[in-house]
Structure 1
Amino acid sequence: FLGFFSSIIFGFLCSISSVTGIFLGFFSSTVFGFLCSITSITGIFLGFFSSIIFRLFGSITGIAGLLSSIIFSLLGSIGGRILGLLSSITNTVLGLFCSVSCTVL
């Protein structure tokens, strides 16, 4: 009788532990699968938004570089014209001075 009852009790305990182990494994795998899917989705969204933000910053810096190159080219052309005018004026003044001094001498 004791062996019979002990085998029944151990069988019952083993079946309970196996059922709870199956349920625990199922829930833990579900929870881990859910967490993994959430982290993968957030990783995808973070990568997407970071790429959009970096592209936006890249386009802004590209526009700023383009504007600065346009401004510097305009300044260079204006400065070149001013220097050209100054050199032509100085050449004219020097030429007049030389011609007057040569005529006087």
Structure 2
Amino acid sequence: MKSELKTGLVLVAGALMTTMASAQDLTMYTFYTTDVPYYETVIAAYEAANPGVTINVEVFQNTAYDAALRTAFAGGDIPDIISVEPDARAVGMYPLIEAGQARVSERSL
């Protein structure tokens, strides 16, 4: 895990607020393969604090990540949580953010 790494997590609008009200499965896409143990720890704690919520992490190699995101968005099977570099333009997030379909939560890992 790179403790000084700064990343943005883009959340589909309402995804986390909905988890507080009902049980559900969430999907997270990431390309940070070396941070998977960190994600597992954070997710386990979140799931323990929110019974009925399951977060499934799909990890992609960096070179395949943009294509996986574009395919997901084009097909309407959008993950609830995605990891992006601080400049979200790399995956075309600005139009989604401006349309209110996604929001950014910046975190230091």
Q: Aligning the two structures, in what range does the TM-score lie when normalised by the shorter sequence?
A: under 0.3
* TM-score, normalised via structure 1 length: 0.17
Q: Which is richer in strand?
A: 2
Higher-Rg structure is: 1
* TM-score, normalised via structure 2 length: 0.17
Q: Which is richer in helix?
A: 1
Report which structure shows greater RCO (CA 8 Å, sep ≥6).
Answer: 2
